[in-house]
């Protein structure tokens, strides 16, 4: 029996995180972590689908409005017709000829598209009683490829080439799944290094996290060089020489300034430098990467679609791919970017933090290991320990590793208490 | 006496153009030309400021919602404080730390930012009783440069270098202004070549426009190659060998397909090919440009900010810059792109058509000639003859040329009748 989408509810959910300076960095001094949230209703009382996109406060109302415009396109459709070839879903949401004008495939309309697309994947996974990662891992290479929109990619990756990439690891998927269920997927944490924290708080958080199993620590930089040097000194001393330090500038530098500043922080041996300049500046990132090698450049949380990632990868502008499950157009485009990364041999270390992002990203990281790259080398998924209490199926961490989620769906269904407590009027 | 912005009204204005297939192309089969419109109120009954952003229908409501979120940031501000160094206005609208997340500087929030920023320029020009082009032409190089946000540009263009570019033509501005008042600025027209028109309509429209003085004709391509060959044959025969044909694919091709298709149309001697692939694909455009030379590549109507234009220009990915007054972040960012184009010696042929765009673009084209490039060589501004009756000060065309507007402001104030007739409920 097909399941028909009969309607939807949307919510503007905001958590007042700016009160404690969690999440403060050089670009974002006072974020209020927020979710533009959608619940798809169906003709079956057993099944609903839940999706969200992440913002940092003001502007969340625009994503909610865009969700309303997009989710309306799905009412009356069956899940099965959308997901027989899942690229159908992606095209339906991103290629409405009028709505496309206000993107295309970027900004508010694409962030909202992620919420809606992810809600359909959540719904489909619930119907099949599997978490989204398992649903995808159970696909054949042919089915996986049928979820991807190859438009604008074929100069570097054709569907045939993508199938070949997936066939490399197709017969050994089960052993990697078992490994993950046993030991989990490695993470790194940003919980220690926010700019708004005092040196004492930084030291204390690092010490706590180290005790709990983490080996990778990210610190925010870019507001004041002397301040950065002092804070990096504190962190490096606390974490020890054998742990990995990442530095994150959140786009505050111009290209020449980035090169100069990073050279000053090189003695702290950063494992990578994140978002050194404008997220749109592919050629700028390439110039920085060439100047600071062997320090690697990471970016992606604001890289808005597969066409941008294609260029970052083909030009050597990034060495670490930090895809974001909300910035990209939902599961479909995340799978496209996993394939591109495999094509160019670039490790994927997804962006998380905020609210809901950790719950999302564990799925593509598992898919990457099981189906696409077959490797955990140089790969860690971001984690922060905020706001997990507001979702039904929060991430489970063990020794600093994400344990594969077991509940059906895409893990971002909010609790009724969260919606009642934090949804604002539209 | 300073003028304080005390409030604003916003309107979702939609014209049902899809009924006649005006504006139909391979990507946009049925646009309803629309404006997300804002009127800024002040404490002076003499002065209001009017701005708009252009969309093609659905999604206009999102731009209106974003206008509300952004215009609220200006209430209580004086025009003089915003415009003493006009980059202050740009930063206020584009760098709100929370709203920036849903861009940054792209998509709905940036389109809306253009409406709001342009409304302030309109207001400032009305206070000074000048059209916007004259206001800018009367600025010193120092003042001009103080309107531009150089963040992310300094690897190719510093404020000092920009001043030097402007000083080249500073002493001879008046003679070029007089020339423009005398003969106007050249345009090209897209009114003949929409995909939805029959061959007979194409021929008739071309013949009419030729009689009225036009020498450049653009035709939409990309849906079907044989169809394109037939339509290009009709158009080339009607326009004659000494007129200029431009072909516009509206982003329908992948890179390899674009190269192949354009080679088939090369015998019609296109003056340029517009939007051959994804507007985000800088490296793809560069590959196409290298393959089809000496045919030139044009793009820009969906190029969303100065960082993207910087890369298109520095990498040789475009040879014709088609900036858009709504896609970019208002007057400020348009001025940035004019400077970048001068830096790289690339002609600017702004995008227009739709509604309001022709009224807008005549201003930057004049500024480019008078202050920035000092040249009309290879430069034509787009024009189409639709919907001009809905604004107070419609463009005045003479022999296929834009005549400089005389009324104070930025020329996009809608008539009361247009608002009453076409505004939809929010």
What does the pLDDT look like over A67-106, one tens digit per residue? 999 999 999 999 999 999 999 999 999 999 999 999 999 9
Whether residue B294 has a cis bond before it, omega within 30° of 0: yes
Q: What is the percentage of chain A residues whose pLDDT exceeds 90?
A: 89
Residue A5 half-sphere exposure toward CB, CA atoms < 13 A = 30
Looking at the fold, whether A226 and A363 belong to one and the same domain comes out as yes
Q: Is residue A151 situated within a structural domain?
A: no
In chain B, residues with a C-beta closer than 8 Å to the C-beta of A63 are 102
Q: Mean of the pLDDT values across residues B304-324?
A: 98
**Residues A256, B101: C-beta atoms closer than 8 Å:** no
Q: Mean of the pLDDT values across residues B288-315?
A: 98
Give residue B23's pLDDT: 65
Q: Which of A130, A155, A182 is the last residue of a domain?
A: A130
Helix segments in A33-106, DSSP class H: 60-71, 79-83, 87-94
Q: What is the percentage of chain B residues whose pLDDT exceeds 90?
A: 89
Q: Which of B106, B130, B154 is the last residue of a domain?
A: B130
Looking at the fold, whether B319 and B224 belong to one and the same domain comes out as yes
Interval A150-203: pLDDT, tens: 999 999 999 999 999 999 999 999 999 999 999 999 999 877 777 778 899 899
Looking at the fold, whether B263 and B358 belong to one and the same domain comes out as yes
Give residue A21's pLDDT: 63
Interface test with A, best of B15, B28, B59 (most A CBs within 10 A): B59
The one catalytic residue in B130, B205, B220, B304 is B220
Mode of pairing for the β-strands spanning B320-321 and A49-55: unpaired
> If we measure between CA atoms, which residue out of A145, A241, A183, A148 comes closest to residue A366?
A183
CB B414 within 8 A of CB B392: yes
Q: Is residue B340 situated within a structural domain?
A: yes
Q: Cα A389 vs. chain centroid, distance in angstroms?
A: 19
**Residues A97, B310: C-beta atoms closer than 8 Å:** no
Give residue B1's pLDDT: 87
Looking at the fold, whether A278 and A417 belong to one and the same domain comes out as yes
What CA–CA distance (Å, rounded) separates A35 from A421?
13
**Residues B311, A281: C-beta atoms closer than 8 Å:** yes
Give residue A189's pLDDT: 84
Give residue A22's pLDDT: 64
**Residues A62, B109: C-beta atoms closer than 8 Å:** yes
**Residues B62, A62: C-beta atoms closer than 8 Å:** yes
Q: Is residue A161 situated within a structural domain?
A: no
Q: Is residue A158 situated within a structural domain?
A: no
Looking at the fold, whether B345 and B266 belong to one and the same domain comes out as yes
> If we measure between CA atoms, which residue out of A373, A381, A339 comes closest to residue A172?
A373
Read off the tokens for A421.
């407590």
Give residue B119's pLDDT: 98
Of A27-31, A395-399, B249-253, the least confident: A27-31
Looking at the fold, whether A337 and A388 belong to one and the same domain comes out as yes
CB neighbour list of residue A187: distance below 8 Å, 6 or more residues apart: A214, A216, A380, A381, A382, A383, A397, A400, A401, A402
What CA–CA distance (Å, rounded) separates B298 from B275?
6
Looking at the fold, whether B109 and B199 belong to one and the same domain comes out as no
In chain A, residues with a C-beta closer than 8 Å to the C-beta of B151 are 254, 278
B275: left (phi over 0), alpha (psi -120 to 50) or beta: left
**Residues B283, A314: C-beta atoms closer than 8 Å:** yes
Give residue B214's pLDDT: 87
The CATH number given to whatever domain includes residue B196 is 3.20.20.120
Residue A138 has pLDDT above 70, yes or no: yes
Q: What radius of gyration do chain B's Cα atoms show?
A: 20
Give residue A102's pLDDT: 98
What's the whole-model pTM score? 0.97
**What 3-state class would DSSP assign to B110?**
helix
Q: Is residue B37 situated within a structural domain?
A: yes
Give residue B197's pLDDT: 81
Interval A204-237: pLDDT, tens: 989 998 998 889 999 999 999 999 999 999 999 9
In chain B, residues with a C-beta closer than 8 Å to the C-beta of A316 are none
Residue A20 has pLDDT above 80, yes or no: no
Instruction: Report the residue of chain A nearest B106, measured CA to CA.
Output: A107
Interval B388-422: pLDDT, tens: 999 999 999 999 999 999 999 999 999 999 999 99
Q: Which of B82, B110, B130 is the last residue of a domain?
A: B130
Looking at the fold, whether A119 and A220 belong to one and the same domain comes out as no
Give residue B19's pLDDT: 81
Give residue B194's pLDDT: 72
Looking at the fold, whether B122 and B189 belong to one and the same domain comes out as no
Looking at the fold, whether B98 and B207 belong to one and the same domain comes out as no
Interface test with B, best of A28, A58, A220, A426 (most B CBs within 10 A): A58
Question: How many other C-beta atoms are found inside a 10 Å radius of the C-beta of residue B160?
Answer: 9
Give residue A304's pLDDT: 98
**Eight-class DSSP state of B391:** B
CB pairs under 8 A between A and B: 190
The total domain count for chain A is 2
The CATH number given to whatever domain includes residue B73 is 3.30.390.10
Looking at the fold, whether A118 and A244 belong to one and the same domain comes out as no
Mode of pairing for the β-strands spanning A5-14 and A423-424: antiparallel
Give residue B153's pLDDT: 98
> Which segments of B232-300 are extended strands (E)?
244-248, 270-274, 296-299
Residue A28 has pLDDT above 90, yes or no: no
Tell me the pLDDT of chain B averaged across its residues: 95
Q: Looking at this predicted complex, what is its ipTM?
A: 0.96
> If we measure between CA atoms, which residue out of B311, B364, B415, B340 comes closest to residue B180?
B364
Question: How many other C-beta atoms are found inside a 10 Å radius of the C-beta of residue B7?
Answer: 14
Q: Which residue range is the domain that position A22 belongs to?
A: 5-130
> If we measure between CA atoms, which residue out of B350, B351, B222, B397 comes closest to residue A101?
B351
Residues of A annotated catalytic, as ranges: 220, 351
Give residue B301's pLDDT: 97
Looking at the fold, whether B82 and B190 belong to one and the same domain comes out as no
Give residue B395's pLDDT: 98
Q: Is residue B320 situated within a structural domain?
A: yes
More confident residue, A356 or B197: A356
Interface test with A, best of B280, B287, B333 (most A CBs within 10 A): B280
Give residue B385's pLDDT: 86
Q: Is residue A180 situated within a structural domain?
A: yes
- In degrees and rounded to multiples of 5, residue A55 shows phi and psi of -135, 180
Residue B24 has pLDDT above 90, yes or no: no
What CA–CA distance (Å, rounded) separates A6 from B359?
44
Alpha-carbon torsion angle A175, A180, A181, A185, nearest 10: 180
What CA–CA distance (Å, rounded) separates B34 from B44?
29
Of A127-141, A212-226, A323-337, B56-70, the least confident: A212-226
Q: Is residue B145 situated within a structural domain?
A: no
- Residue with the two structure tokens 């998924």: A381
Tell me the pLDDT of chain A averaged across its residues: 95
């Amino acid at each position: 029996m097909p399941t028909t989408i009969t309607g939807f509810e949307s919510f503007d959910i905001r958590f007042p995180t700016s009160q404690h300076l969690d999440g403060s960095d050089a670009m974002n001094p006072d974020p209020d972590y927020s979710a533009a949230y959608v619940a798809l209703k169906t003709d079956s009382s057993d099944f609903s689908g839940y999706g969200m996109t992440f913002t940092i406060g003001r502007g969340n109302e625009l994503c909610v409005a865009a969700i309303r415009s997009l989710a309306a396109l799905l009412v009356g459709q069956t899940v099965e017709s959308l997901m027989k070839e899942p690229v159908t879903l992606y095209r339906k949401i991103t290629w409405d000829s009028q709505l496309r004008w206000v993107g295309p495939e970027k900004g508010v309309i694409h962030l909202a598209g992620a919420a809606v697309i992810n809600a359909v994947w959540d719904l489909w996974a619930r119907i099949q009683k599997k978490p989204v990662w398992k649903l995808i891992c159970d696909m054949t290479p042919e089915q996986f490829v049928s979820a991807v929109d190859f438009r604008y990619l074929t100069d570097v990756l054709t569907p045939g080439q993508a199938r070949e990439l997936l066939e490399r690891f197709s017969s050994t998927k089960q052993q990697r799944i078992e490994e993950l269920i046993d030991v989990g997927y490695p993470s790194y944490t940003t919980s220690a290094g926010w700019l708004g924290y005092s040196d004492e708080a930084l030291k204390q958080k690092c010490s706590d996290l180290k005790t709990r199993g983490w080996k990778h620590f990210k610190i925010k930089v870019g507001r004041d060089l002397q301040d950065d040097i002092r804070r990096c000194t504190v962190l490096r001393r606390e974490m020890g020489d054998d742990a990995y330090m990442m530095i994150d500038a959140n786009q505050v530098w111009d290209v020449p300034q980035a090169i100069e500043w990073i050279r000053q922080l090189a003695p702290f041996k950063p494992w990578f430098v994140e978002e050194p300049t404008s997220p749109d500046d592919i050629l700028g990132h390439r110039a920085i990467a060439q100047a600071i090698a062997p320090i690697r450049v990471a970016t992606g949380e604001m890289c808005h679609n597969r066409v941008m990632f294609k260029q970052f990868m083909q030009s050597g502008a990034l060495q670490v791919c930090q895809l974001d499950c909300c910035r990209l157009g939902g599961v479909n485009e995340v799978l496209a970017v996993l394939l591109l990364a495999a094509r160019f041999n670039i490790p994927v270390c997804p962006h998380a933090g905020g609210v809901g992002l950790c719950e999302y990203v564990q799925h593509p990281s598992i898919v990457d290991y099981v189906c696409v790259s077959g490797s955990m080398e140089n790969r860690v998924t971001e984690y922060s320990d905020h706001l997990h209490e507001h979702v039904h199926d929060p991430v489970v961490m063990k020794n600093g590793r994400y344990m594969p989620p077991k509940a059906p769906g895409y893990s971002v269904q909010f609790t009724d208490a969260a919606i009642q407590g934090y949804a604002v009027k539209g």
